[in-house]
């Protein structure tokens, strides 16, 4: 892999950009000794400034169900940019897209558009507090809901010895600069453990506005919910009169047309979407039934934003939804089949090479972790057993072979409709080579 030009960009970048880029997960922490600088994406391919070509399995952290520069997206954006970029007025396109989303999701009456998952999550929590008049929110260890102060607690992997008793996890702030007050009202529990949830709801349910969780733990590799767990969570929320808030920033418009709510048969009170929804544009949404969504009417619970409902982004959403749902949701089936195939074949390659790599997935989301456990069922398994350094070495080896696996050790990789059978075969051949060459 040629790196001369990227190295030069890195030197320039380090003079004017913190870490040489705009997010820690893109910088030297995950791409040592320096990141590659990219200039072009097409289909499932990316090109860097040294003209290296990669099969992209990172796909903007899940923002590109159709891959890069899909012809329909390019066409509609070219056409619409001529009519103006952003108006900050009510828009014809936002009505159309909201109608499409409500019809597709089935369990929501109304939608409110924002830009990023972080904003949507922040607003959802504010709504839950406003509606119930209760102060606390309950999140789970290892679940990430963006970088809003109030939710930046216990999202990162930590040494297990620091986590405390599962009945009362130690809350660990994820950043400097947070006041204890910002997360004082954020309680933390252990995910995928229904007894732990009932214990805390029994004692503190009267103080808790909402239980919030991802549809799958997807910021700690990919850890699916145990059979029936999400349904049981919903039942417990109803029993203890606490709102059930499902953060579908990752799973929405990905694991099924109706997201994790459809996959697991749920009726959450509040849902948030982002990532895949925008097909590469910053479009996020908060959604729910009428009696919940009316809380933001006329600023009762405040939700503002100059860039809300980004016009061009909404045209991309419309085109993406049309493409993904064509032929009875063939797009969703395709990304799921590719994710399943990658998972099965990577696991087989790891076994053949005698490596302790395990790949877990939910449809199109998959992630290799190096662990001696047969299965990772929770955050504490992940913290106790996963060798993040080995994943970093594997992903770096893959990139040397022209296959872009995310350098972010705790995130996941994804498929898009543009991946071909050849992309899969080439990626598996690369994995086989890298796994055989890696020390055991």
360 beta partners? 367
Q: Which helix (H) or strand (E) holds 351?
A: helix 311-353
**Minimum CB distance to ligand PMP, residue 379 (Å):** 14
335 neighbors 416 (Cβ within 8 angstroms): yes
Total of residues contacting ligand PMP (CB under 6 A)? 15
Beta partners for residue 112, in sequence order: 286
Share of the chain residues as helix, strand and coil, in percent rounded to the nearest 5: 45, 15, 40
How many C-alpha atoms does 136 have within 13 Å on its Cβ side?
15
CA distances from 142 to 145, 379, 390, 399 (A): 10, 6, 20, 27
Alpha-carbon distance of 440 to 432, in angstroms, equals 14
State the DSSP string of 397-433.
Answer: HHHHTTEE--S-TTS-EE--TT--HHHHHHHHHHHHH
Judged by beta carbon, residue 67 or residue 146, the one nearer ligand PMP is 146
Contacts of 64 (CB under 8 A, 6+ apart): 276, 279, 280, 416
* Position among 9, 144, 273, 370 found at the interface with ligand PMP (CB under 6 A): 144
117 binds ligand PMP (CB under 6 A): yes
Rounded to a whole number of angstroms, the minimum distance from the CB of residue 304 to ligand PMP is 17
CA atoms within 13 A on the CB side of 286: 27
Residue number, 116 or 123, with CB nearest to ligand PMP = 116
**Interface pick for ligand PMP out of 123, 155, 234, 249 (rule CB under 6 A):** 249
60 or 80, CB closer to ligand PMP? 60
Single out the residue of 214, 269, 323, 401 in contact with ligand PMP (rule: CB under 6 A): 214
Question: With 0-12 CB in 10 A as exposed, 13-18 as middle and 19+ as buried, what is 363?
Answer: buried
Distance CA 304, CA 122 (A): 12
Asked if residue 145 binds ligand PMP (CB under 6 A), the reply is: yes
- The single residue among 30, 36, 58, 116 that binds ligand PMP, judged by CB under 6 A, is 116
Q: Which two tokens stand for residue 410?
A: 């705790």
- Piece of 117-125, 183-191, 291-299, 300-308 that binds ligand PMP (CB under 6 A): 117-125
Does 141 contact ligand PMP by CB under 6 A?
A: no
Q: How far is the CB of 234 from ligand PMP (least distance, A)?
A: 18
Q: Which is nearer to ligand PMP, 222 or 236 (CB)?
A: 222
From CA 228, how far away is CA 230, in angstroms rounded?
6
Stretch that binds ligand PMP, among 75-83, 227-235, 245-253, 431-439 (CB under 6 A): 245-253
> Cβ-closest residue to ligand PMP?
117
Q: Is the Cβ of residue 193 or residue 214 nearer to ligand PMP in the bound state?
A: 214
Q: Which of residues 250-289 bind ligand PMP (CB under 6 A)?
A: 250, 274
Question: Does the protein bind ligand PMP through residue 247 (CB under 6 A)?
Answer: yes
Closest to ligand PMP by CB, 10 or 57? 57
The crossing angle, in degrees rounded to 10, of helices 311-353 and 71-81 is 160
Q: Are 286 and 123 in contact (CB under 8 A)?
A: yes
Smallest separation (angstroms) from ligand PMP to the CB of 272: 7
Distance of alpha carbon 316 from alpha carbon 78, whole angstroms: 11
Counting contacts by CB under 6 A, is residue 27 touching ligand PMP? no
> Is the Cα torsion angle 302, 306, 307, 310 positive or negative in sign?
positive
CA gap 271, 246 in Å, rounded: 5
* Smaller CB separation from ligand PMP, 117 or 378: 117
3-class SS at 82? coil
Q: Which is nearer to ligand PMP, 108 or 349 (CB)?
A: 108
- The stretch near ligand PMP (CB under 6 A) out of 12-20, 74-82, 140-148, 298-306 is 140-148
| Residue 186 found at the interface with ligand PMP (CB under 6 A) | no
**According to the binding rule CB under 6 A, does residue 146 interact with ligand PMP?**
yes
Q: Is 87 exposed, middle or buried (0-12, 13-18, 19+ CB in 10 A)?
A: exposed
Site for ligand PMP in 60-79 (CB under 6 A): 61
Q: Mark 341-380 with x for binding to ligand PMP (rule: CB under 6 A) and - for no binding.
A: ----------------------------------------
Please choose, out of 46-54, 126-134, 190-198, 212-220, the segment that lies near ligand PMP by the rule CB under 6 A.
Answer: 212-220
Q: Which residues bind ligand PMP (CB under 6 A)?
A: 61, 116-118, 121, 144-146, 214, 218-219, 247, 249-250, 274
């Amino acid at each position: 892999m040629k790196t001369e030009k990227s190295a030069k960009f890195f030197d320039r970048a380090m003079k004017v950009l913190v870490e040489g880029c705009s997010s820690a997960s893109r910088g030297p922490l995950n791409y040592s000794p320096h990141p590659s600088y990219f200039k072009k994406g097409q289909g499932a391919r990316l090109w860097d400034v040294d003209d290296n070509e990669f099969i992209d399995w990172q796909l903007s952290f899940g923002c590109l169900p159709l891959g890069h520069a899909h012809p329909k997206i390019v066409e509609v954006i070219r056409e619409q940019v001529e009519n103006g970029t952003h108006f900050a007025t009510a828009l014809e396109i936002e009505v159309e897209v909201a109608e499409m989303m409500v019809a597709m999701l089935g369990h929501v009456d109304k939608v409110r558009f924002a830009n990023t998952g972080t904003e949507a999550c922040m607003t959802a929590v504010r709504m839950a507090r406003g509606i119930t008049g209760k102060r606390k929110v309950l999140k789970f260890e290892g679940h990430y809901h963006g970088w809003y102060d109030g939710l930046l607690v216990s999202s990162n992997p930590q040494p297990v010895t620091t986590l405390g008793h599962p009945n009362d996890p130690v809350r660990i702030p994820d950043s400097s600069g947070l006041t204890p007050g910002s997360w004082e009202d954020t309680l933390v529990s252990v995910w995928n453990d229904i007894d732990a949830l009932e214990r805390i709801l029994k004692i503190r349910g009267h103080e808790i506005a909402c239980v919030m969780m991802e549809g799958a733990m997807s910021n700690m590799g990919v850890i699916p919910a145990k059979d029936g767990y999400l349904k049981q969570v919903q039942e417990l929320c109803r029993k203890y009169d606490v709102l059930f808030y499902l953060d579908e920033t990752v799973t929405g418009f990905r694991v099924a047309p109706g997201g994790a709510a459809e996959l697991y048969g749920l009726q959450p009170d509040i849902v948030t979407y982002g990532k895949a929804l925008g097909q590469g544009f910053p479009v996020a949404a908060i959604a729910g039934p009428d009696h919940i969504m009316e809380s933001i009417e006329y600023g009762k619970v405040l939700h503002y934003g100059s860039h809300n409902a980004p016009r061009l982004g909404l045209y991309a959403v419309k085109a993406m939804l049309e493409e993904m749902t064509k032929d009875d949701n063939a797009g969703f089936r395709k990304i799921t089949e590719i994710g399943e195939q990658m998972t099965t074949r990577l696991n087989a390659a790891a076994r053949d090479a005698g490596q302790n790599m395990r790949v877990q997935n939910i449809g199109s989301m998959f992630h290799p972790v190096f662990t001696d456990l047969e299965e990772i069922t929770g955050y504490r398994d992940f913290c106790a057993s996963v060798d993040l350094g080995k994943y970093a070495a594997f992903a770096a080896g893959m990139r040397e072979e022209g296959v872009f696996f995310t350098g972010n050790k705790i995130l996941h990789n994804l498929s898009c409709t543009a991946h071909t059978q050849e992309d899969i075969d080439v990626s598996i051949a690369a994995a086989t080579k890298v796994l055989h060459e890696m020390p055991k």
